[in-house]
Structure 1
Amino acid sequence: MIRFEGGFFLLVLALDVFCVIDLIQTRDDEVRNLPKIAWLILILLFPPIGSIAWLAAGRPQPGARRPSAYERSATSFPEYDRPGRAAGVTPESDEEFLRKIRERADEQRRKAAEDKKRREAEENGGA
């Protein structure tokens, strides 16, 4: 009878250790029904009952993983459906779009060259 009780104690201890490690490794947004700290207290204060409750009601369900915030933002809209994206409907509108891009790039290059000349003049004039 003593061996059975010792084996039962080791089984409960192993189950508790497994559940605590599993709880710690689980992301906060995947824990079900209670916050992580509540599950930890439940597992530690009520060893066999808390562990079984974690396995049944708190542990994330396999295959029900929610994507992270980054994954949701990256995949919520395919690039062609992204709000605010202007798609050319006709070849003329595509040409106009490309022309505007070239004009904007030329303007940025011109401003960068002017800034560079101004900085060089300040460095040469100030030295």
Structure 2
Amino acid sequence: MLRALIYLLPFALTIYAFIDCLNTPEDEAKHLPKVAWVFIILLFWVVGPIVWLAAGKMREVPADGRTPSEWHRSRRNRWVAPDDNPDFLKSLKDENKKDESLLKDWEADLRRREDELKRRDSGAGPEGSAPPAS
């Protein structure tokens, strides 16, 4: 059991430090960029996580009053799907209205052309020749 604990404890510490590093906002990582901390944690299996926990992250409350969980709460404001976003739904309605008006214009133009062809055909003789020019 003790042999397993010798391997499981550093592994659990590495996993904890890795997830903590990924969830930390970029401006709260000290001394190095977050990407560098991720590589240190993963490459130096026992020492990397301990260094991250000791010196890699600001542990005090930031001056602007932001809390660590605030970063997670701000991500929830994003829309899950486009059909949840009222602005997107409004843009769809506007686009539908524009498409309907365009379709009505096309239909009116088609009717006008059909009427024009009917008048031209009705004015033509039985042979289908064009009406005389005036």
Tell me the TM-score range normalised by the shorter chain.
0.3 to 0.5
Relative to the length of structure 2, the TM-score reads 0.45
Higher CA-based Rg:
2
Relative to the length of structure 1, the TM-score reads 0.48
Q: Which has the higher contact order (CA 8 A, sep 6+)?
A: 1
In terms of fraction of residues, the more helix-rich structure is: 1
